[in-house]
Structure formats: C-alpha cells, structure tokens
Structure 1
Amino acid sequence: MVKAQAQLVGHGISLRLITIEIRDVAQNRLITSLELLSPVNQREPGLTTYRQKRQRIYQAGVHLLELDLRRQCTRPFAQPQLPEVPYCIALTLAQGKTMQLWPIDLHQGLTTVPIPLRQ
C-alpha cells in the first residue's frame, strides 16, 4: 500500500511525499513503514515534522526503513558511528529499538536489506 500526503513547499508548490506501508491485512495493522528521504524532510521546517513522525512510528511499535539517497542534507537520525558516506539506509526494528545502518558509497549499487514483514 502506498500512502501519499501533500505538503506545501515555498511559492505555493505542492509536493507529494510518498510512504510505502507494509500491513497485516487481516488485522489492519501497520508492520513496516518505508520512507524515502528528500530535501523536504531533511531541512527545516520539514525536518522537525519528520522527526516527530519518526517518534510516532516508534511509539506505535512499527518497523522503520529509511532510504537516505540525498547528498548534503541533514539526516533525521543521529548516529556518531556512521562513516562519512553520501548515502545510507537505516532500519529501526520496532521491538528491539535498535538501528541497523548500511552506508552506501557512490561507486556501489544499492545493497540488499531485510524488510520486516511481520511483528
């Protein structure tokens, strides 16, 4: 299921931010949220709004997979161990509250990452 939300960004331009949701259809429960990070949610005022959304996702017990494929933007997650790479993928598991990071170098393709399909 793809969920889109509209957000105004300067000069009246409407921009659709897309969230991909993996749901347990039988229980209508959100299992994993996939977020493609963009300049809108990596710069203020969108950065603060996105960080609040991340907190709501964590508190709801949902897995979060974030694809950060933007250069020179602020990452919404702070990880001092993350090497200086332009791109990365972050997976935060709902139960363990742990984050797994995959740094991506410019000369590499996207790595294969696990996507949680169950709680």
Structure 2
Amino acid sequence: MVKAQAQLVGHGISLRLITIEIRDVAQNRLITSLELLSPVNQREPGLTTYRQKRQRIYQAGVHLLELDLRRQCTRPFAQPQLPEVPYCIALTLAQGKTMELWPIDLHQGLTTVPIPLRQ
C-alpha cells in the first residue's frame, strides 16, 4: 500500500473573539459578560484593547467572568497573589472592588463557579 502525501494548502484563518452575554430580557440590559480569553486578547495589541473593554464593562456596572484556559500568556488581570498555575477563572462583580479567583492546576478538573444572573 502506498501512503498518499498530504498537501498543505494555505488559507487565511481568522480568529473570532466570542463573548457570552447574560441579559435582562425585559430591559435588554447586560447583566454578566463571560469572556473566554484567547491568544488575541492576551498579547499586544489585543491585550491593551481587551483591558480597555474590561474597564468599560466595570464602568457599566456589569459582572465579568473571565475564563483563562491558555498557558504561557499574559493574564489581562493583574493579580500578584495568584499562584503559578496554568489556568484561572476570575469573577469581578458589578461595581465590585474585589475579584474572586479560582486558580486551576493541570491535575484538577474545572471547578464550579457562580455566574451572576441578576444585578
């Protein structure tokens, strides 16, 4: 049997940034923004753009849940007390001055975290 050679075909790959929004349907008001962090928003120039987006979310009084499942990237949230772990989930409540962090090691599964469904 002769093994066929694979051909490499170049094509543009576009990355889409996906945000999950939890809204109050009656008022069409954003309650919680869930952000799945990607290489685009963890490296420049996307890192600065994403940090600006975070500021707008905070100022709008919206809860922010960030899932950082990327290793070896800059985390957009500055947290010096965070242990050296490959993954992290961060929750900042609307108009909150604190951030809840769930560091996740490679050997443990994802933890259950609260998702704010109302203000």
| TM-score computed with the length of structure 1 as normaliser | 0.88
Q: How big is the shift at 1:18?
A: 0.5
Give the aligned partner of residue 76 of structure 2. Answer: 76
Asked if structure 1 preserves the Cα contact closer than 8 Å seen for 2:58 and 2:95, the reply is no
Which one is further off, 4-13 or 37-46? Answer: 4-13
How far apart, CA to CA, are the structure 2 residues paired with 1:94 and 1:56?
11
Question: 1:8 aligns to what SS in structure 2?
Answer: coil
- C-alpha distance after superposition, 1:63-108 (max 9, x if no partner): 0000000000000000111011010000000132310000000000
- Seen in structure 2, the aligned counterparts of structure 1 residues 78 and 39 have a Cα distance that, compared at 3 Å, is same
Question: 2:117 aligns to what SS in structure 1?
Answer: coil
Asked if structure 1 preserves the Cα contact closer than 8 Å seen for 2:71 and 2:86, the reply is yes
Question: 2:57 aligns to what SS in structure 1?
Answer: helix
Asked if structure 2 preserves the Cα contact closer than 8 Å seen for 1:4 and 1:18, the reply is no
Asked if structure 1 preserves the Cα contact closer than 8 Å seen for 2:59 and 2:95, the reply is no
Which one is further off, 13-22 or 57-66? Answer: 13-22
- CA RMSD, 1 decimal: 9.3
Query: Can you give the 5+ residue segments of structure 1 that lack an aligned partner in the other structure?
Result: none
More strand by share: 1
| TM-score computed with the length of structure 2 as normaliser | 0.88
